Chain A
Amino acid sequence: MVATDNEILHAQLRGFFSEKLSVEISSVDADLVQTDILDSLALVELLAYIEKEFGAEISLDDVEIEDFHSIARIAEYVDAHSRVVMV
């Protein structure tokens, strides 16, 4: 079985939450905001991670919190803004 790009991205983002924030995310659709996982500290760390790992240029003027509500949404955001091509 071969993992899709999306699954790899989800796994990477899950890894970020696990390693950096010590939080295991049960589902890619779990709401990170309602569950208080994504506070401003975590957001700063997440934005830095996305910029570094995926070469995404994040313009804070355009960003909305809805883009980070879940791992699935974050993955969509990364996919749309990333300069790194997954192979």
Chain B
Amino acid sequence: MEIRFAEDGDLEALIRFNRRLRAGGREEQITLRASLPGEAKYRPADFPVCRRMMIAKQGEEIRAAMLLHFHNVFIKGERRNFCWTSMPISEGIIDRRHSLAIIQLIKKASACQPFLMTIGVGTPETESFRFLVKLGWRWRSVPFLFYPVRVSRTLLGLRYFKERPKLRYGALLGAYSGAGAALGGLLSLRRRLASAVSTCQSSEEREFDDWADRIFADSLSEYTVAIRSDAATLNTTYPPDNPAFARLRVRRKGTRQDVGWIVVASKQMKDNRYFGDLKVGTLADGFGRVADAMALVAAGINYLAEAGADIIVGNFQHSAWAQACRRSGMIAGPSNYYLFVAPGGPLLRQDSCPPEEIHVARGHSDGMWSLV
């Protein structure tokens, strides 16, 4: 088995790999574009943030593939290289003769960069979750929060309610009794009042610039663990020419002093396994002083509510961000979103690296695949 980074010449083999998975009845597909969305246009030369695909190839055929998103994380202010891993897919899921390929691939990736992390993964019952646990990866749940903008539509549309008989009747009652509409009205009123008395205001920016660099430099010391979020990283990740993302710059009213930023996205779902046909807004990413997290979250919620989202979702590990979401009216829901750290990474321990002081959001790694 040859394990290496994919090259342009591997495209046909990747297409055949995806075709075999589909023919084997699996939905999983490896992306054919390994690089980050903004890498070609916005990544400075030799910049450490980039994404590459690693493949396990047997003869002419690819048997397993995964993405390695090279990145920097700041742990107590010290910069460390690490890799987000995403989409590890093996042909072993349809043909056991290739079961070994994914193990060899991940071992090789660990040799290339021992500090690997991934987020998402799936519920503890899924193969991918159990696989990483067996490989000795440590994990933490990342809190999930949601905000029903159109409460009745959300109650009727969320699969979570539909699939649980007791909740389903409660949701139907809430939607058709008028309680949902009343709650929606109250939340709307609360947003308008909060906006009126807020000391901050937001503006939509086309791209991240020097101001984002300043925010990152000024706020970094407040986070025990933070993923690199300067302008070059952000433009590479959320490229200016991608209309799926809105970049909101938040400043103080009057002084116009920068407070932070938040990236949001929305998508009209169609028969989605979680959201049915709802329009889902996502608080994808954000950074700023910890004390201003609530102003940033509120800016994101207001923008998405105005953009017609039925429901707004977000995943934030850092306690200040999770608390800011709750104080902005978001509700904590059952999370099936996890942060995994490979054995070669730091221990997520209360005394050295407290999980609630790690700033991880949905936009990091591949958390936005299905939400934009």
Contact = CB atoms under 8 A, between A and B. Distances in A.
A19 interface: no
A44 B131 contact: yes
Interface in B87-132: 90, 92-93, 96-100, 102-104, 107-108, 127, 130-131
A47 interface: yes
B99 A65 contact: yes
B107 A60 contact: yes
A41 B130 contact: yes
A5 interface: no
26 contacts: A33-B96, A33-B97, A33-B99, A34-B96, A38-B99, A39-B92, A39-B96, A40-B90, A40-B99, A40-B100, A40-B102, A40-B127, A41-B131, A43-B99, A43-B103, A44-B134, A44-B135, A47-B103, A60-B107, A60-B108, A61-B104, A63-B100, A63-B104, A65-B97, A65-B98, A65-B100
A33 B130 CA distance: 19
A40 B92 contact: yes
- Counting chain B CB atoms within 10 Å of each CB, the highest count among A42, A48, A65 belongs to A65
Interface residues of B, number: 18
A39 B99 contact: yes
Contacts of A60: 100, 103-104, 107-108
Interface of A: 33-34, 36, 38-45, 47-48, 60-61, 63-65, 68
Contacts of A64: 100
Contacts of A43: 99-100, 103
Contact of A41 (B98, B104, B127): B127
Nearest to B136: A48
A45 B135 CA distance: 9
B16 to A, nearest CB: 20
Given A33-B99, A61-B104, 17 more contacts: A33-B96, A36-B96, A38-B96, A39-B92, A39-B96, A39-B99, A39-B127, A40-B93, A40-B100, A40-B102, A41-B127, A41-B130, A43-B103, A44-B135, A47-B103, A65-B99, A68-B100
A19 to B, nearest CB: 15
B103, B104, B107: which has the most chain A beta carbons within 10 Å?
B103
Given A47-B103, A60-B103, A41 B97 contact: no
B269 to A, nearest CB: 31
A29 B278 CA distance: 53
Contacts of B90: 40
A41 B90 CA distance: 12
A45 B104 contact: no
A40 B95 CA distance: 10
Contacts of B102: 40
